[in-house]
Copies of this chain bind each other. A is one copy, B any other.
């Protein structure tokens, strides 16, 4: 019963694409940027990030190019593709309707609730 980490599930590709939409970046930088934008609320671990990047590349959402940096470190710079852009749009709207749905449920019963059954049950268990 520790759903905190579970909340993230399914959102990783969307977050990565959202960062890449604003410009090319390498894996480590993407993780940093997500943490920064979310005020450290969202922290990406390597075990989460790299599999996600590989899957996105495999599916043609992003494309990575190896770069030899002057210092000597090798970096893989990722670019978002057209498919990635439209996928991001689709994911963003899915996220929006999802949050709306959750909020409606958490918010409580609305005025249209047929509360007869509920009231009867509440009475019986009083």
Contacts and interface: CB of A to CB of B under 8 A. Distances in A.
A1 B12 CA distance: 11
A68 interface: no
Interface string A7-48: 101111111001101111100010001100111011000000
Interface residues of A, number: 57
Given A101-B41, A106-B92, A59 B1 contact: yes
Q: Is the interface of A mostly helix, strand, loop or mixed?
A: helix
- Count this chain's copies in the assembly: 2
Given A14-B3, A94-B4, A102 B25 contact: no
A119 interface: yes
Of the listed residues A37, A95, A108, A110, the one surrounded by the most CB atoms of chain B closer than 10 A to its CB is: A37
A10 B9 contact: yes
A101 B1 contact: no
B121 A37 contact: no
13 contacts: A3-B10, A6-B10, A7-B11, A9-B9, A15-B106, A18-B105, A24-B121, A33-B109, A37-B104, A37-B109, A41-B101, A42-B105, A95-B102
